[in-house]
């Protein structure tokens, strides 16, 4: 009996661990998914990335991401693969369209829980996960269909898996599987958004270990097998794209990575202090608990807590890294949320240990954060800004096979998804002027994409002078206009079908009185085609 008791005890402990992790994982995913269906896709980001995933699903080409039928290489494909797969299984709905960020938030929260449970105890892990789960930036970010939360989840999982390997190595315990897992997760991060999926975790782990004086551990984390795992996961897609498009690597790495990071001509220029201010605002109800952390360097004779040092370094590296470029978007700072949640939980635990009566203030802070996140989601559902869902659904009900859909600026990113379009939208604009502009917008994105498929681009991106001939070639055409100016002359005789907040849908029938004459179809038919 005595010989089997340790085995029985280990078996029970393992079952408790599995059931605890399964319960936490289920609750976390249910929390993130509960309201993901409530609101329409928001333009431009959600419409753009979900639109690319819809085209991948519709076309059956799971290799080359396309935006309006043109190769779109701003970002790598992991988001599109996950989103298209979710839509294939669950249908093309908002919940499936937001599966990738939900998965990123889930990975971020679960990785933090597992790491802290192992190295800081179950109570601290649960508290940190609770703090993270009710943060408005984390909660809304996990339901926003762009790439930021997905790569944040990959970065968090990579950092924590690598840190686990380093701590196991220091303790003389098996570490190779965790180390190889970190390399695989870093590769997924690269497929999620590019080089930051590898660079940020490497910076965090290197700075952390050097501050702890463990430079030998840094060297031991460099693994040939890990590098092989990384390349096996990340490299095939990049090699395939380079073979199909020889200019791909320069565009993806030089233009979309280094030039964007170093340049000041891209979108949303903000001051250096932008991200500290954002984090302070989003974590406002929790900030008082940070003062209970105490000094990072303990009193003489006491060992430094490597987990706390990791969390401080992790948050600082992320904030500093993304504060350097002039262009700053809110979602870039999402990888800093897990370490901040862990530090807040650490301070909160110490405060409650010394003064248990402060529990009511902790619950009040959690309630404020929770209501802020839920309130934002509900508000966006009740008053959705920048959405073309209703217009697209109107088009889906009326649109016939083979009838061209033409956008007279701007290009509505969410139109293919909501209207279930099976062919690209023709977009009318002065494209010779747009290809030279440095600033990112829908025009620049489409113009860049056309460089990789010039023949398709010539059919999809049309100059204004070619519009009458295009309209004269179809019995029925559908036109989408913005609200920037008066309706163009080509809409003479068109029927107004739907007027939305940001765009208007028109139907143009050649057999309606005066339409063909207004377009000059007879003169165009008599003009010989250019040789």
What integer pLDDT is reported at residue 1 of this predicted model?
Answer: 42
| Cα distances (Å, whole numbers) of residue 278 to 148, 151, 231, 240 | 16, 19, 35, 39
Cα–Cα distance measured from residue 509 to residue 518, given in angstroms and rounded to the nearest whole number: 12
Of 350, 379, 408, the domain-final residue: 379
**182 Ramachandran zone, left/alpha/beta (phi>0; psi -120 to 50):** alpha
470, 432: one domain: yes
414, 366: one domain: no
Report the run of H or E that residue 66 belongs to, with start and end: strand 66-67
57, 88: one domain: yes
In 3-state terms, what secondary structure has residue 269? Answer: strand
Residue 136 lies in a domain: yes
What is the β-pairing status of strands 495-499 and 504-509? Answer: antiparallel
How many CB atoms are closer than 10 A to CB 390? 16
| Cα distances (Å, whole numbers) of residue 258 to 255, 261, 302, 472 | 6, 5, 43, 45
How many CB atoms are closer than 10 A to CB 530? 4
| Residue 408: exposure state from Cβ atoms within 10 A (0-12, 13-18, ≥19) | buried
Residue 384 lies in a domain: no
What integer pLDDT is reported at residue 300 of this predicted model?
Answer: 59
Q: 284 Cβ partners below 8 Å, 6+ apart?
A: none
If one counts the domains in the chain, the total is 2
296, 396: one domain: no
Of 319, 345, 379, the domain-final residue: 379
What integer pLDDT is reported at residue 527 of this predicted model?
Answer: 74
418, 330: one domain: no
Residue 264 lies in a domain: yes
What integer pLDDT is reported at residue 353 of this predicted model?
Answer: 86
369, 481: one domain: no
144, 229: one domain: yes
Residue 2 lies in a domain: no
Average pLDDT for consecutive 10-residue bins of the chain (531 residues)? Answer: 57 81 96 95 95 97 97 97 98 96 98 97 96 96 97 98 97 95 98 97 98 94 97 98 95 87 70 92 88 69 82 97 90 96 94 85 91 94 90 95 91 95 94 67 91 95 93 94 76 90 91 90 76 51
270, 409: one domain: no
122, 264: one domain: yes
What integer pLDDT is reported at residue 488 of this predicted model?
Answer: 80
What integer pLDDT is reported at residue 530 of this predicted model?
Answer: 57
Residue 110 lies in a domain: yes
Residue 375 lies in a domain: yes
Of 360, 379, 398, the domain-final residue: 379
346, 408: one domain: no
Instruction: State how far Cα 496 lies from the chain centre.
Output: 36
What integer pLDDT is reported at residue 303 of this predicted model?
Answer: 65
What integer pLDDT is reported at residue 358 of this predicted model?
Answer: 84
267, 312: one domain: yes
Residue position matching structure tokens 């829908």: 442
Nearest to 334 by CA among 278, 405, 407, 413: 278
397, 360: one domain: no
Residue 13 lies in a domain: no
Boundaries of domain holding 460: 389-526
Cα–Cα distance measured from residue 145 to residue 41, given in angstroms and rounded to the nearest whole number: 8
Both tokens of residue 175?
A: 């570490």
Q: What phi, psi does 81 have (nearest 5°)?
A: -60, -50
Complete DSSP assignment for 384-435: --S--HHHHHHHHHHPPTT--EEEESS--TTHHHHHT-SSPPEEES-HHHHT
């Amino acid at each position: 009996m005595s010989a089997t008791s340790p085995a029985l005890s280990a078996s029970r402990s393992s079952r408790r661990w599995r059931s605890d992790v399964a319960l936490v994982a289920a609750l976390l995913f249910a929390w993130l998914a509960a309201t993901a269906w409530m609101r329409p896709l928001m333009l431009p980001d959600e419409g753009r990335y979900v639109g690319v995933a819809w085209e991948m699903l519709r076309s059956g080409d799971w290799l080359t991401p396309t935006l309006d039928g043109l190769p779109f290489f701003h970002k790598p494909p992991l988001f599109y693969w996950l989103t298209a797969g979710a839509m294939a299984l669950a249908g093309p709905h908002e919940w499936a369209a937001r599966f990738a960020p939900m998965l990123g938030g889930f990975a971020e929260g679960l990785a933090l829980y597992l790491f802290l449970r192992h190295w800081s105890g179950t109570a601290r892990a649960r508290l940190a996960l609770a703090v993270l789960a009710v943060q408005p930036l984390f909660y809304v970010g996990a339901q926003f269909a762009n790439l930021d939360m997905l790569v944040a989840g990959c970065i968090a999982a990579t950092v924590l898996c690598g840190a686990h390997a380093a701590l196991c190595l220091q303790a003389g315990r098996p570490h190779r599987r965790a180390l190889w897992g970190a390399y695989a997760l870093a590769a997924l991060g690269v497929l999620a958004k590019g080089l930051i999926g590898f660079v940020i975790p490497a910076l965090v782990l290197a700075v952390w270990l050097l501050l702890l004086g463990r430079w030998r551990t840094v060297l031991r984390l460099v693994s040939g097998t890990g590098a092989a795992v990384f390349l096996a996961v990340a490299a095939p897609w990049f090699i395939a794209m380079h073979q199909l498009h020889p200019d791909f690597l320069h565009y993806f790495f030089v233009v979309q990575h280094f030039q964007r990071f170093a340049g000041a001509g891209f979108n949303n220029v903000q001051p250096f202090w932008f991200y500290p201010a954002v984090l302070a605002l989003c974590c406002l109800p929790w900030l008082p608990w940070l003062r209970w952390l105490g000094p990072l360097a303990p009193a003489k004779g006491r060992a430094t807590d490597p987990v706390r040092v990791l969390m401080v370094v992790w948050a600082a590296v992320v904030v500093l890294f993304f504060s350097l470029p002039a262009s700053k978007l809110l979602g870039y700072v999402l990888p800093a949320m897990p370490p901040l949640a862990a530090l807040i939980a650490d301070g909160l635990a110490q405060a409650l240990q010394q003064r248990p009566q402060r529990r009511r203030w902790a619950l009040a802070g959690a309630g404020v954060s929770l209501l802020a996140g839920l309130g934002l989601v509900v508000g966006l559902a009740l008053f959705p800004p920048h959405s073309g869902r209703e217009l697209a659904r109107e088009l889906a009900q009326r649109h016939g096979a083979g009838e061209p859909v033409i956008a007279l600026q701007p290009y509505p990113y969410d139109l293919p998804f909501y209207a279930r379009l099976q062919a690209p939208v023709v977009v009318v604009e002065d494209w010779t002027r747009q290809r030279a502009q440095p600033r990112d917008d829908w025009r620049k994105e489409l113009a860049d994409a056309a460089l990789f498929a010039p023949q398709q681009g010539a059919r999809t991106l049309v100059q204004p002078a070619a519009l009458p001939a295009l309209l004269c070639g179809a019995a029925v055409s559908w036109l989408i206009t913005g609200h920037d100016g008066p309706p163009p002359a080509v809409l003479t005789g068109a029927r107004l079908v739907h007027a939305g907040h940001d765009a208007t849908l028109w139907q143009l029938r050649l057999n309606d009185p005066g339409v063909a004459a207004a377009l000059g179809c007879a003169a165009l038919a008599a003009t010989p085609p250019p040789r």
